[in-house]
Structure 1
């Protein structure tokens, strides 16, 4: 074991002894685990750090997911798998539209001007 590990473990034990972990929000509840299977293993920690720092928005994540699903649909040969992917894409599109509506992006004049270009870029 290296010295950093030993120091970290000792500080954790001391915090437990001092009661620093008592009555924290979410105590006794299961953790909400994210499905990060779409992210390569070597990039997952960096992704988590960026997401926790609010550097990756839900919209960016949905756009990336939609692009990935569209690419998978274009190369899919199995009809059942293509149907499943199409359903996933529809769900992602609906969630994206809800986020856009929630932020009231559609009310700006600039958005209305470029709406067709935006929709063709994201959904076709």
Structure 2
């Protein structure tokens, strides 16, 4: 396998010397990296394929949105109103995801089972 890696590296270096990469789309621009930390490892490849094809299931969209909101919430230190709004949006997304997983028979998630009742109580309170 090492020979294949070496050969690939040699071909890439040769193409770079010839300037074959100069006119590629996005040349000289920073890469646009996606935050896929909210997607389970076993679903990551299928998530990427479906996303690239424009066919992203709602539960995967919700998982990604939840991860983004959790990161924003963790980074929010200054404004209590903003933190409360982010928390509310996160709760809504989690409840929608839980409902969707239940409808599809995929509701065996320990995380939702643990926090589901607490989330419902909080929403009922205000």
Normalising by the residue count of structure 1, what TM-score does the alignment of the two structures yield?
A: 0.45
**Alignment TM-score, normalising by the size of structure 2:** 0.44
